[in-house]
C-alpha cells in the first residue's frame, strides 16, 4: 500500500508517517519512482507507535524499544528500559486516577449544591454577597 492509504487506515497524517520514517520508527520499500510502499503489517505498527506516543514516550525512546517490542529482540538493557517505562506509565495512571476522583467529587458536590441551592460545608472562598 502507498502512504496515503496507510495514513487513512492507521488514522494519522501522511506527514506523520514521513516523520516516523525520518526518525527511524517506520521503514518503507521505495519504488523506482521514489514512492513509499508498505506491507499490511505497517498499520499495526503505526497504531502501536501512536499508542506509545499517547503514553508519553518520546520518539527516541520508542525507536530504541520498538525492535524489542515487535521482534522480541530483548537485551537485558532494553528489558530494563521497558520496565522502567512501564513503571512510569503506572505512576501516570495513579496520578490520573486521583485527578479524576478529584474532579468526580467536585462535580457531584457542585451538582448537589446547585440542585439543593446551598454550598457544601468545607468549601473555601468568600461567602455569597
- Decide: 75 and 58 in contact? Cβ < 8 Å: no
Give 19 or 109: the residue with its C-beta nearer to DNA: 19
Three cell numbers written together for 17: 508517517
Instruction: Compute the distance between CA of residue 118 and CA of residue 110 in angstroms, rounded to an integer.
Output: 9
Of these, 33, 124, 127, 129, which contacts a second copy (CB under 8 A)? 124
Binding test (CB under 7 A) with DNA, winner from 31, 77, 103, 120: 31
Say whether residue 24 binds DNA (CB under 7 A): no
Count the neighbouring beta carbons within 10 Å of the beta carbon of residue 62. 21
Question: How many residues contact DNA, by CB under 7 A?
Answer: 24
Per-residue contact flags (x/-) with DNA for residues 68 to 97, judged by CB under 7 A: ------------------------------
Q: Which of 10, 24, 32, 98 binds DNA (CB under 7 A)?
A: 32
- Helix (H) and strand (E) counts for the chain? 5, 2
Q: What is the rounded distance in angstroms from the CA atom of residue 22 to the CA atom of residue 75?
A: 25
Interacting residues with DNA (CB under 7 A): 2-5, 7, 12-16, 18-19, 23, 28, 31-36, 53, 58-60
Amino acid at each position: 500500500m502507498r502512504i496515503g492509504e496507510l495514513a487513512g487506515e492507521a488514522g494519522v497524517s501522511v506527514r506523520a508517517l514521513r516523520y516516523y520514517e525520518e526518525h527511524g520508527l517506520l521503514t518503507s520499500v521505495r519504488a523506482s519512482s521514489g514512492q513509499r510502499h508498505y506491507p499490511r503489517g505497517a498499520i499495526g505498527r503505526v497504531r502501536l507507535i501512536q499508542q506509545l506516543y499517547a503514553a508519553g514516550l518520546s520518539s527516541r525512546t520508542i525507536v530504541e524499544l520498538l525492535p524489542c517490542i515487535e521482534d522480541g529482540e530483548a537485551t537485558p538493557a532494553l528489558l530494563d528500559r521497558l520496565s522502567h517505562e512501564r513503571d512510569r506509565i503506572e505512576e501516570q495512571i495513579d496520578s490520573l486516577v486521583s485527578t479524576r476522583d478529584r474532579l468526580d467529587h467536585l462535580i457531584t458536590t457542585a451538582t448537589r449544591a446547585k440542585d439543593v441551592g446551598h454550598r457544601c460545608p468545607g468549601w473555601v472562598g468568600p461567602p455569597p454577597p
